[in-house]
Structures are given as C-alpha cells and as structure tokens.
Amino acid sequence: MRRLIVIILMVLIAGCGNDQQRYDATTDTLTDILAARPEVVDAKITYQNSLDAAATAAANVEVTEGSDPKPIADEVVRLLWTSTLTPLNGVSVSVWDVTDNKRSDVRQLQFEDPATRQRLESEHGKRPV
C-alpha cells in the first residue's frame, strides 16, 4: 500500500511539471505579443497556481515615454481573458511609463466576480476554456 501511495505521488508531481511548462509557454507567447508593440519597452506575464497564488496571472509592462498606459492595460486584460490559461481566477496588471511611474494603470481583476465576468464577456466573448 505504501508503495502504491509513493507511485501515485510521483505521477502527480511529474504531471505538475508538464502543466507548468504549458503555462510558461502560454505566458511567453503573451509576453511576446505585448513586446512586439512599438510603445512597449519591457513586458513580462507570469502565471501561478499554488497555495500562495491560486490560479493567478501577473503582467508587468513598461511603455515608452509619454505613451498612454490604459490601452496597453486593456490589451493585457484581453490577452489574458482570451488565453488558454486555466484555471484563471484573477489577474494583476501593472503598466507604467518608463520615465514617469506616476503615469500608470494598475488593475486587480477577479474573473470569478460575476460583474467582472459579465463585463469581460460582453467586451471579449466567453473564455475559450
């Protein structure tokens, strides 16, 4: 019995690595999409699904001097909402001007919140997963 439990735990742990590789590939693709925009200086999107951060994504984006952070933040939310990251309960989005961090757009969204879900579905359609 003990041997069976050890084998099951090993299989579960091995499977977790595959999930993380898939999450990393998705967030790398989303990061590349943002980085291709001319006003983006630096971008990084990460995903965690652990006890500390259950099914959350975080995006940190620096934009060129004088760029409006709002449309970039809107794009980040759209990219995450329409992504295949699952489960995805919430996102943290930070976009700021590289020369003036007071020019920023910071958002915390809980996708499980009915009002947030309804608004995002009306703007971008249902999540693909």
Burial 53-75 (b: 16+ CB within 10 A, else e): eebbbbbbbbbeeebebeebbeb
pLDDT tops 50 at residue 11: no
**How confident is the prediction for the chain on average, in pLDDT?**
90
Q: What is the pLDDT of residue 1?
A: 58
106 DSSP β-pair partners: 94
Amino acid in the structure at residue 107 = R
Is the pLDDT assigned to residue 89 strictly greater than 80?
yes
Instruction: Spell out the domain ranges in the chain.
Output: 25-124
Provide mean pLDDT across the span 4-14. Answer: 45
For position 28, what pLDDT does the model report?
98
42-54: per-residue pLDDT in tens? 999 999 998 888 8
pLDDT bin (cut points 50, 70, 90) of residue 101 is confident
Give just the sign of the alpha carbon dihedral 100, 108, 87, 12: positive
- Higher pLDDT among residues 41 and 1, named by residue: 41
Cross-strand pairs, 100: 97
Q: What is the DSSP string of 76-127?
A: HHHHHHTS---S--EEEEEEEETTEEEEEEEEEEETTSHHHHHHHHHHH-S-
* Strand, helix or coil for residue 38: coil
Tell me: the pLDDT tens digits for 53-88? 889 999 999 999 999 999 999 999 999 999 999 999
Helix axes 69-81, 2-35, angle to 10 degrees: 140
Look up the CATH architecture of domain 25-124.
2-Layer Sandwich (3.30)
